[in-house]
Amino acid sequence: MKKKAKVLSVTSMAVTMLLSLAACGSDNDNPSASNTASPTEQSSSNTGNGEKVKLRIVTLTTDENRNNIMEQYIKPNVAKALPNVEVEFEPGGGGEDMANKLKTYNSSGDMPDVFWDDAGFFIPLNNTGSIMDLTPYITKDGFLDKYDVPGALKHIDGKIYSLSSGSDTYFTPVIFYHKDMFEKAGVKVPTTFDELLEASKKLNANDMVPAVTPGKGGWGPQLFLLQQMVQIGDPQAMEDLVSNKTDFNNPSVKAGASRIEQLVKADFFPKGIANLDYGPAMEMFTSKKAAMLMMFTWELPNLAKDDTVDFFPFPSASDKYDSAKHVQYWGSPLNGYAVNAKTKHPEEAVKLAEFLAMMDAKYFESKGAPVSLNTGDAAPEPGPLMKKFIDWYNPIPTKIPSLALNSLDAKVSAELGSQGASLLTGEYSTDQFIEAMQKVWSQNTWFNQ
């Protein structure tokens, strides 16, 4: 796809500019600095006796896509790709489960050889020298050249710590909807926030749950809902929050949190949304128990199998926002497969990380989703819904990085989830939410190292 290089170059610059505002320790202060030797300087990982090298990996196991990648691409092909390696796969879950698992392993000195890295828990791993700079390895073996925009992999310190398919850049939250349910209720696709509230009234009047999203642990508010509700009113305020140029006392940020409260009190979500997990939320939409689904476009390939499903961007709440000019994108150069800097088999571990990133790319590409890691395969023509998405998304000039992935340490991220879940109950006010988040925001280590 010719368009993908353009969008990735834009987002690469955005990541670089925005993340450069987050201060990190210098190599002199960083224990991991001694773990960046070139492959030729590292000791050989050859066992020397013909036995296979044993490597352990902790992976994401959060959704259908991740499970499909593991069962259909990784496990069937790993032996052929790495014949001298025996891999032990360990499910890591995701989010806080993954963070807690790696935190425990890091403290006990039992880190896996390869693991899924996340911006939320990068700092403690880096500070203890538990994450490798992959740059010399992937430069020497040419893997870096397989990326359309290799600069998008670089952290603010210029190093590369994680490998991914590059599909993250194309993930953004939208509102999926069932066209037949809208038609039955006499609802038109809303273009403003007020129209969204009006659509909720009509759907409720027809005994339909207007919308659903994962709420358990504050998943929705933490990862996209707060950002969207701020952004549709004042995209500049959202950019400023991501880059720490403002805080939660900003009136536009408070207005965004208030919109979540308005949606809850308008019965936009099902009762008990604060306890609704990812799988049940998806099932509510796919079984047409809810007319709309607020979700990232990583679910688009699966949802496109139902020809009653379509999507629309989050509707505007002010004339400052235009969905053709501003969009949130999911992704961080830190998200992807990382290697333990203390692994006994660095070369094989890096090769395993490269293989895993490639399997991710092949899977997403096979579904018609754009990726930045060149697989060598002929990409299929995108389906109608994917083409609609790409045609809308690629030309958007301002792509705002996700707050959750690029600006929050583990503590602040967890607090945003907790406070977001409280906001979804309808019994917690916007003022309470802002007060709690402002307190923890001032302690955010992404900006206070």
> 320-373 pLDDT, tens per residue?
999 999 999 888 888 899 999 999 999 999 999 999 999 999 998 888 778 889
Instruction: Supply the DSSP symbol for 74.
Output: I
pLDDT digits (tens, 9 = 90+) for 236-292: 999 999 988 999 999 999 999 999 999 999 999 999 999 999 999 999 999 999 999
Domain boundaries 4-169+331-376, corresponding CATH code:
3.40.190.10
Paired sense of beta strands 114-117 and 336-339, if any: antiparallel
Q: Which are the contacts of 280, defined by CB distance < 8 A and separation ≥ 6?
A: none
pLDDT digits (tens, 9 = 90+) for 123-179: 788 889 999 999 999 999 999 999 987 877 888 788 999 999 988 878 899 999 999
- Supply the Cα-derived Rg of the chain in whole angstroms: 22
pLDDT digits (tens, 9 = 90+) for 42-94: 444 455 567 899 999 999 887 788 889 999 999 999 999 999 999 999 998 87
Map residue 177 onto helix, strand or coil.
strand
Tokens 């925009």: give the residue: 149
User: Residue ranges of the domains in the chain?
Assistant: 4-169+331-376, 172-329+401-441
Q: Which H helix or E strand runs over 265?
A: helix 251-265
Q: Which are the contacts of 9, defined by CB distance < 8 A and separation ≥ 6?
A: 149
Predicted TM-score (pTM) above 0.75: no
Mean pLDDT, residues 23-45: 39
Burial label, 448 (beta-carbon count in 10 A; 0-12, 13-18, 19+): exposed
Q: What is the pLDDT of residue 253?
A: 98
Rounded CA-CA distance 64/434 in Å is: 34
Residue 177 tokens read as: 């909807």
Rounded CA-CA distance 171/152 in Å is: 15
Q: Which are the contacts of 89, defined by CB distance < 8 A and separation ≥ 6?
A: 57, 59, 70, 74, 75
How far from 377 is each of 103, 140, 163, 164, 365, CA to CA, in Å?
Answer: 37, 23, 19, 17, 9
Domain boundaries 172-329+401-441, corresponding CATH code:
3.40.190.10
pLDDT digits (tens, 9 = 90+) for 306-317: 999 999 999 999
Paired sense of beta strands 209-212 and 290-296, if any: parallel
Topology match between the domains 4-169+331-376 and 172-329+401-441: yes
